[in-house]
């Protein structure tokens, strides 16, 4: 069992930082639902003209505090620029974040609730997603308490050009990659896991399966090792995402 650790910020404080930083970067903030006094917000930046549509999320597991901090760092650095239309959901599980637990206050693993949507957090998130256009690329940010290095999941059912090797190479220049042949019970190769993207094969859907079923044909779940400092975990996410965006987007 993971030790419970205090969150670096109060969830509402962190959400407020996202809203303020997003406003400075040209984003519009929208509240999807309020959970125990903390708004679950979505930030959108609809750049004029034809642009790729890119979605990023963080904070679905409360014991993975580096994920919203990594997304906030990217936002504040101006990475989400005019090359794309952006959709950010930074804090999905504020009660778990406050407690330092994977699940929300009601004991629900929100990243297994995207099929049945029994929690108010995921029901609201899906309602918001249903009103968005299809995404060309999605990222879901996570941490792994058991891993010794960075790794990722790729869902790419239409065999589009992969960004997985780009991210692994970029992170691997500074940080270790988990090169185990099996990670989290799934076959892996060089830090990349490519599970079956067919949602019919799963009773409980994580966010990325839902996204591939309804909103995208290219989705990445990024996993950083929780044994590293929070600064290093934030940096790993930043390196991976920035390298992928530079490869995917026109200069």
Residue 146 lies in a domain: yes
DSSP-derived pairing of the beta strands 38-45 and 85-89: antiparallel
- Of all residues in the chain, the percent with pLDDT exceeding 90 is 91
User: Over 80: is that where the pLDDT of 8 sits?
Assistant: no
d(CA 1, CA 110): 18
Q: Which residue range(s) make up the domain with 49?
A: 17-248
The answer to whether residue 69 sits within a structural domain is yes
Say if 11 falls within a structural domain.
no
Where are the strands (E) in 46-136, listed by range?
A: 53-57, 85-89
Q: Kindly report the CATH number assigned to the domain that includes residue 133.
A: 3.40.630.10
> What's the rounded mean pLDDT across residues 82-103?
97
Total domains present in the chain:
1
Locus of tokens 């670096």: 8
47 phi and psi angles, rounded to 5 deg? -65, 130
Q: What is the pLDDT of residue 3?
A: 40
Whole-model pTM: value is 0.96
Is the pLDDT at 199 greater than 80? The verdict is: no
Residue 2 pLDDT greater than 50, yes or no: no
């Amino acid at each position: 069992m993971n030790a419970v650790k205090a969150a670096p910020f109060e969830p509402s404080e962190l959400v407020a930082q996202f809203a303020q930083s997003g406003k400075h970067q040209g984003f519009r903030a929208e509240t999807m639902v309020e959970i125990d006094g903390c708004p679950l917000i979505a930030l959108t930046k609809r750049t004029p003209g034809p642009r790729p549509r890119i979605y990023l999320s963080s904070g679905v597991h409360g014991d993975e505090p580096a994920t919203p901090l990594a997304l906030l760092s990217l936002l504040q650095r101006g990475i989400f620029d005019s090359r794309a239309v952006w959709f950010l959901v930074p804090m999905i599980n504020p009660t778990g974040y406050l407690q330092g637990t994977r699940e929300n206050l009601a004991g629900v693993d929100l990243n297994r609730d995207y099929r049945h949507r029994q929690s108010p957090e995921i029901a609201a998130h899906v309602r918001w997603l249903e009103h968005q256009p299809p995404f060309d690329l999605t990222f879901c940010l996570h941490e792994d308490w058991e891993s010794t290095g960075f790794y990722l999941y790729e869902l790419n059912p239409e065999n589009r050009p992969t960004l997985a090797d780009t991210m692994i190479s970029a992170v691997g220049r500074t940080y270790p990659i988990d090169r185990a042949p099996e990670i989290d019970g799934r076959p892996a190769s060089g830090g990349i896991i490519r599970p079956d993207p067919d949602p019919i094969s799963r009773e409980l859907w994580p966010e990325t399966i839902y996204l591939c079923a309804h909103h995208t044909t290219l989705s990445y779940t990024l996993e950083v090792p929780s044994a590293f400092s929070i600064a290093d975990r934030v940096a790993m996410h930043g390196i991976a995402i920035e390298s992928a965006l530079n490869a995917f987007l026109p200069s």
